Chain A
């Protein structure tokens, strides 16, 4: 057979796999109405599709499908050590969506899930009820709800950011964080901000954004979205995580910080988090054994007890640069690093 160029195209969102149980939820109807031309395939349990053996995470990224499911079992998880807790002891995370519409080369989800298809759990109300119970028990509670996805980027498909913001409004002691790389702030411009809802933007230097953050909006767009979020009255956090070292990092990072604070209101920045690229050993093992060939996973890393990370000296260098530059605009107590 000759190797002709067939001119084929990938088919993103060509299929919606829907658990039969999910059919009765209004969110399922809302989502399916946005994908009228997609094939709807009924499934018994989302794992039949999501955890099939021998899926290609990277190829599926080019033709991502939606899986609509009803979450069972645990809804909230204690955050692992590799995450920033920003000084909160009751730090939990929750995942109403698995996977992300962006495709960052360094994404840890590649080692965490066997598939890059997007799973949307349609029983969001059950999540909120679980959070409410835990909040009643702990009094002080911090919930990250966008760590294994990008909720704001998904807002046009399923409006969960607004559900979380509306839910936490007025609940003293409860903080909800929506982490994002999205510029999609207009999707929630009609939502009344809540004191205890934090919109948290991950920002990288332009070189890293262009090299490794495929599909995600460029840095200017993210900064403009942050600016708009502040104008709308949202609390904003800056996340410089993961920092990845390269020749020219220092210079670019300096310019990046200048650019950010030229555009946003520093007095309205809640805080900033800094973290150097690291990946749990188990995820790295999965990535390297299942046909993922992104170069970022094949550089030399130091093997720690639970994670792979860059050499200590480079890590310290990057953190020092980041803290030094951020300190020009933010007080020390607002800068957190891992």
Chain B
């Protein structure tokens, strides 16, 4: 799954159009748009609300570590080498309030410039008000990263900021924002696909179906937490060592509901034997 977070609608609109996302009318706290494998949330502005939105999103959709979260939005540039409309991939994010720094892991080649993002708690007008070393200024990035890093691999948390101003004019032109984000979406899409493929390499050999079988068996056999972990680890080892052999043979245990602890033990030992490597 790919989760995209934008601070406000004007930033989200080009992404919604690009991927043909549909609004989820049942979502209450935050506006959420859904596609086949992409979910977009409009977080609101500021680190606290962004953190809340990201946590809400990743919990609601049961995010796995190999899912991807992107913060896409506009930013003001401190670095004069950037030009308006240019997309920058952030390799360092500074929360200027807590002074904590975060480093997204950048593992695949990409077409963007890179830079340090400074997240301020309020809008910054004038470069002379920027007291930290950095290239870009926003109000959400650090909150996004900090929340997402409780859920996902650090290489799956990425921030792409499109340069909108140079901290000289804080007025917002929605059409202009739409245009500059849209113009970068082809590259962003390429990057997302690259990340998705990279994650394939490290994906858990136990499929969703395998996990469902294991869960159901554990439930029916009333396994303790430790026994359930053991079952999971044995199944994982089996799948790895036997080179992706199907776990379908465990289906015969799906409907067994033992009456006594002795029976539980009996079936557990039986399954262990079948899963030995």
If A8-B108, A43-B101, A55-B153 touch, whether A1 touches B19 (CB-CB below 8 Å) is: yes
- Give which listed residue, B36, B106, B196, B240, contacts A298 with CB less than 8 A: B240
Chain A proximity mask over B33-60: 1 for CB below 8 Å, otherwise 0: 0011110000000000000000000000
User: Is A1 in contact with B155, judged by CB distance below 8 angstroms?
Assistant: no
A60 proximity list for chain B (CB < 8 A): 105, 107, 155
| Interface residues contributed by chain A, number (CB under 8 Å) | 36
If A41-B91, A288-B233, A295-B241 touch, whether A53 touches B154 (CB-CB below 8 Å) is: yes
CB within 8 Å of A: which B123-157 residues: 133, 149, 152-155
> At the interface, yes or no: B204 with Cβ under 8 Å from chain A?
yes
Q: Which residue of B lies closest to A57 (CB)?
A: B202
Of the candidate stretches B176-184, B186-194, B220-228, B256-264, the one touching chain A is: B186-194
Q: How far apart are the CA atoms of A299 and B241 in the complex, in Å?
A: 7
- Give which listed residue, A11, A59, A298, contacts B202 with CB less than 8 A: A59
> At the interface, yes or no: A48 with Cβ under 8 Å from chain B?
yes
> At the interface, yes or no: A36 with Cβ under 8 Å from chain B?
no
> At the interface, yes or no: A313 with Cβ under 8 Å from chain B?
no
Q: How far apart are the CA atoms of A245 and B19 in the complex, in Å?
A: 52
> At the interface, yes or no: A312 with Cβ under 8 Å from chain B?
no
User: Is B107 in contact with A63, judged by CB distance below 8 angstroms?
Assistant: yes
A41 proximity list for chain B (CB < 8 A): 91-92, 103, 116
B103 proximity list for chain A (CB < 8 A): 17, 41, 43, 48-49, 52
B116 proximity list for chain A (CB < 8 A): 41
Chain A proximity mask over B99-122: 1 for CB below 8 Å, otherwise 0: 001010111111000101000000
Chain A proximity mask over B198-211: 1 for CB below 8 Å, otherwise 0: 11011011000000
User: Is A52 in contact with B154, judged by CB distance below 8 angstroms?
Assistant: yes
Q: How far apart are the CA atoms of A131 and B107 in the complex, in Å?
A: 37
User: Is A300 in contact with B114, judged by CB distance below 8 angstroms?
Assistant: no
- Interface-centre pick from B101, B105, B233 (highest chain A CB count, 10 A): B105
A54 proximity list for chain B (CB < 8 A): 65, 149, 152-154
> At the interface, yes or no: B10 with Cβ under 8 Å from chain A?
no
Q: How far apart are the CA atoms of A232 and B199 in the complex, in Å?
A: 46
- Give which listed residue, A48, A55, A288, A298, contacts B101 with CB less than 8 A: A48
Q: Which residue of A lies closest to B234 (CB)?
A: A298
Q: How far apart are the CA atoms of A8 and B189 in the complex, in Å?
A: 12
> At the interface, yes or no: B12 with Cβ under 8 Å from chain A?
no
- Give which listed residue, A43, A58, A295, contacts B240 with CB less than 8 A: A295
User: Is B91 in contact with A39, judged by CB distance below 8 angstroms?
Assistant: yes
User: Is A11 in contact with B108, judged by CB distance below 8 angstroms?
Assistant: yes
CB within 8 Å of A: which B61-85 residues: 65
CB distance from A4 to the nearest CB of B (A): 6
> At the interface, yes or no: B237 with Cβ under 8 Å from chain A?
yes
- Give which listed residue, A9, A55, A298, contacts B105 with CB less than 8 A: A55
B101 proximity list for chain A (CB < 8 A): 43-44, 48
Q: Which residue of B lies closest to A3 (CB)?
A: B196
A58 proximity list for chain B (CB < 8 A): 201-202
- Interface-centre pick from A4, A9, A62, A293 (highest chain B CB count, 10 A): A293
- Give which listed residue, B36, B38, B277, contacts A300 with CB less than 8 A: B277
User: Is B38 in contact with A1, judged by CB distance below 8 angstroms?
Assistant: yes
> At the interface, yes or no: A125 with Cβ under 8 Å from chain B?
no
Q: How far apart are the CA atoms of A295 and B237 in the complex, in Å?
A: 8
Q: How far apart are the CA atoms of A291 and B277 in the complex, in Å?
A: 19
> At the interface, yes or no: A42 with Cβ under 8 Å from chain B?
yes
Chain B proximity mask over A2-22: 1 for CB below 8 Å, otherwise 0: 011110111100110100000
CB within 8 Å of B: which A24-49 residues: 39, 41-44, 48-49
A43 proximity list for chain B (CB < 8 A): 92, 101, 103
User: Is B202 in contact with A8, judged by CB distance below 8 angstroms?
Assistant: no
Q: How far apart are the CA atoms of A296 and B178 in the complex, in Å?
A: 51
User: Is A8 in contact with B193, judged by CB distance below 8 angstroms?
Assistant: yes
User: Is A56 in contact with B202, judged by CB distance below 8 angstroms?
Assistant: yes
Q: How far apart are the CA atoms of A55 and B157 in the complex, in Å?
A: 11
Q: Which residue of B lies closest to A290 (CB)?
A: B65
User: Is A293 in contact with B106, judged by CB distance below 8 angstroms?
Assistant: no
CB within 8 Å of B: which A51-82 residues: 52-56, 58-60, 62-63
> At the interface, yes or no: B17 with Cβ under 8 Å from chain A?
no
- Sample of 24 A–B contacts (CB below 8 Å): A1-B192, A6-B196, A10-B107, A10-B109, A10-B198, A15-B106, A41-B91, A41-B116, A42-B133, A43-B92, A44-B101, A48-B103, A52-B105, A52-B149, A54-B65, A54-B154, A55-B105, A59-B155, A59-B198, A60-B107, A62-B107, A295-B240, A298-B237, A298-B277
Binding site for A on B (CB under 8 A): 2, 19, 35-38, 65, 91-92, 101, 103, 105-110, 114, 116, 133, 149, 152-155, 190, 192-194, 196-199, 201-202, 204-205, 233, 236-237, 240-241, 276-277
Q: A15-B91, A55-B153 are in contact. List 12 more A-B contacts (CB 8 A).
A: A1-B19, A8-B193, A11-B106, A11-B109, A42-B92, A52-B149, A58-B201, A60-B107, A62-B198, A63-B108, A293-B204, A299-B237
